[in-house]
Amino acid sequence: MAGASLDRGKPAFIAGHRGLVGGAVLRHFREQGFGHLLTRTSSELDLRDADAVEAFFAAERPATVVMAAAKVGGILANSTYPADFLSDNLRMQVNVLDAAARHGATHLLFLGSSCIYPKLAPQPIREDSLLTGPLEETNDAYAIAKISGVLQVQALRRQHGVHYVSAMPTNLYGPGDNFHPTHSHVLPGLIRRFHEAKEQGAASVTVWGTGTPRREFLHVDDLARACLFLLENYDDPAPINVGVGEDLPIRELAELVADVVGFEGALEFDTSKPDGTPRKLLDVGRIHDLGWKAEIGLREGLEQTYAWYVEQLAAGALRAA
């Protein structure tokens, strides 16, 4: 089935369509001619509710499923609510993947996270580093849930012969991101802090940690392209990395965000706060060999994301503080 185009006329369920990833996948699938896209908000369908998920799949019978729904957050949220991150993600994954297999979904893509890999995995991180060492302590519960999803995909393939796959994106950003003051990831958090500092005329902005950890950032529209590409061109039990193949120190990222936002004050680093994993660069050789590469440069993507953030603020869609 690898290499076969999806039937764009059959139902396709984008789980988590209101999130950063799901929203981008929904936009891309629409652009690519999918005529029967299924979406449900969490109030319409609680993916943690097995009976509700079973009823949805029995009624709608999607042929394609993209599992982009997840409970996500940054270091603070993961450290504060580990039980919620483990429990909610496990239940959503088990319910959706099992129901998809029971009700005849022919294609499914499970989206994991680069945090599934060991904290000190050799860089760049290859897919076969999975389960070879201890996880980063600040998000181990979330990572374990995502690892379970990868193994569930593999188990469903072995037991039922389904063509389900899993992809591990690197750090994501873009329109639709979460800019919450305490529960956001590093990049939207920086955009918000620098914007507010600029608006308030602040002399400096404080960034968590030492600024030395290195991170890789993939625009969510590139990931959306990769999702459809993998559904049509990849059929293997092993997870596959999705990234850009290059990274930069958090200090340089902060300087770039400050420049894009137009903040001209000083940068200060709070070294009492955790750094997280020292480096997390994905080896993207396998997806490159298949013929896919990221297209959106970091500065271009940041400028687009910041413009979206400012538009949302002006429209009253986001709280200014």
Regarding pTM above 0.85, the answer is yes
Does residue 20 have a known ligand-binding role? yes
Q: For residue range 83-130, what is the model confidence (pLDDT) as tens digits?
A: 999 999 999 999 999 999 999 999 999 999 998 999 889 999 999 999
CATH code for the domain defined by 12-176+216-245+280-297: 3.40.50.720
pLDDT one-digit tens code per residue, 159-190: 999 999 999 999 999 999 988 877 677 899 99
Residue 319 has pLDDT above 70, yes or no: no
Annotated binding residue at 282? no
Residue 161 neighbours by CB under 8 Å, 6+ apart = none
Is 18 marked as binding a ligand?
Answer: yes
Q: Is the pLDDT of residue 321 over 60?
A: no
The average pLDDT across 36-58 equals 98
pLDDT band per the 50, 70, 90 thresholds, residue 1 = very low
Confirm or deny that 244 is annotated as ligand binding: no
Q: Which among 22, 179, 47 is positioned nearest to 100, based on CA atoms?
A: 47
Report the alpha-carbon angle 38-90-245, nearest 5.
80
Would you state the structure tokens that stand for residue 116, as one six-digit string? Answer: 């599934």
- The pLDDT tens digits for 53-69 are 999 999 999 999 999 99
Q: What is the DSSP letter of 68?
A: -
Residue 30 known to bind ligand: no
Is 208 annotated in a binding site? The answer is yes
> Is 193 annotated among the ligand-binding residues?
yes
Arithmetic mean of pLDDT over the chain: 94
Residue 136 has pLDDT above 90, yes or no: no
Does residue 117 have an active-site annotation?
A: no
DSSP 219-242: EHHHHHHHHHHHHHH---SS-EEE
Q: Which of 142, 164, 306, 309 is catalytic?
A: 142
